[in-house]
Homo-oligomer: A and B are copies of this chain.
Amino acid sequence: MHTRIIRDIITASLVTTFAMTGHAAQWEALPEAAPAPADNPTTEAKVELGRLLFFDPRFSSTGTVSCNSCHNLMEGGDDSRDVSIGVHGKTGGRNAPTVWNAAFHSVQFWDGRANTLEDQAKGPVVNPLEMGMTGLEEAMNRVRAIAGYKPYFDRAFGAGDSMTVDNAAKAVAAFERTLITPNSPYDRYVKGDKKAMTKPQVRGMKKFADIGCISCHSGATFNGPTMAVGTGFYMKFPSFSDNTYTGKYKLTDDTGRHEVTRQEADKHMFRVPTLRNIALTAPYFHNGSVNNLDEAVQVMAKTQLNRELRTKDVQDIVAFLNALTGEFPAMSLPRLPGTPGKSILAD
């Protein structure tokens, strides 16, 4: 239902893109904090626990895959691959979205199948192509087998029966809400430092608006208007499929949100992804089929706006997109609690 409403809004918006060109775009800097749901306020104790869980590979069936494996915080919050590799070398069907600034998405996954970061955190654990656990309780039993985790759960959620699946997911989500990359050249520019962006970047910013990229990639995170949590901002991709890119990059093989809802109206609808740190998250698109930001911009212009851009315009827009690379918060290497004298992965 929501999906259909949004699609209609977008379709209307797309049609009026060119009419919008003359209007001043609303440029927003990235907020310094992400909103948290009422039932999971962000606390230091939760963030600390979530950070450990995020990096711990022992909750995957083989003990080799952690959240960080595919959402690598040492890089762009993804894995540089077209589609990710999980346990036993299995490959998934979609490109890993960056976890940086994921807190500003109103739904999670390319198809919006999780409403919240809390829900999202549970998915990969039991996905046979990702962490491959047979159940969330099985995964939680691994956590419970590590005595050193108990004090972290107690501090975050109160003593007692604190080691639950929901609390683990809450902690991971709380940690993810801190994964914000402020102070990009763009942010400094819109806050008034006119020297923060280069001339090509400023030109690219204007073109990004004039051409109509901004009709979907709007707002502080460039992922669309602010939506209620659980209400996705989706767009059909490709919107225009009568071009060589569609076949070349297999853009219609994946039906997107339709795979979740089975609604005809959701065919090829995908969540509009953030463009923050986009320069660091190649390869691009839901299937990771395009390994070049210049080409990705061309493909988007053609498939979403039915336009062919001049090389110079592409270069300027790419320059602007590079201005969306922010500062990554310093973080210490986690020390994961051990299980002295035995491994929870053997026996």
Contacts and interface: CB of A to CB of B under 8 A. Distances in A.
B330 A332 contact: yes
Interface string A313-324: 000001000100
Contact of A342 (B75, B283, B325): B283
A235 to B, nearest CB: 23
A87 B333 CA distance: 24
Interface string A332-346: 111110111111111
A63 B81 CA distance: 7
A322 B334 contact: no
The dominant DSSP class at the A interface is loop
A246 interface: no
Interface centre among A81, A343, A344, by most chain B C-beta atoms within 10 angstroms, is: A343
Interface footprint category on A: 35 or more
Contact of A283 (B55, B57, B343): B343
Contacts of A64: 69, 79, 81, 85
Given A58-B80, A89-B89, A73 B333 contact: yes
A126 interface: no
Interface stretch (A8-16, A17-25, A288-296, A303-311): A288-296
Given A88-B89, A283-B342, A293-B342, 20 more contacts: A55-B74, A56-B74, A58-B80, A63-B79, A64-B81, A73-B333, A74-B333, A74-B335, A74-B336, A81-B345, A82-B346, A87-B89, A282-B339, A282-B343, A282-B346, A288-B346, A325-B340, A330-B333, A331-B333, A333-B334
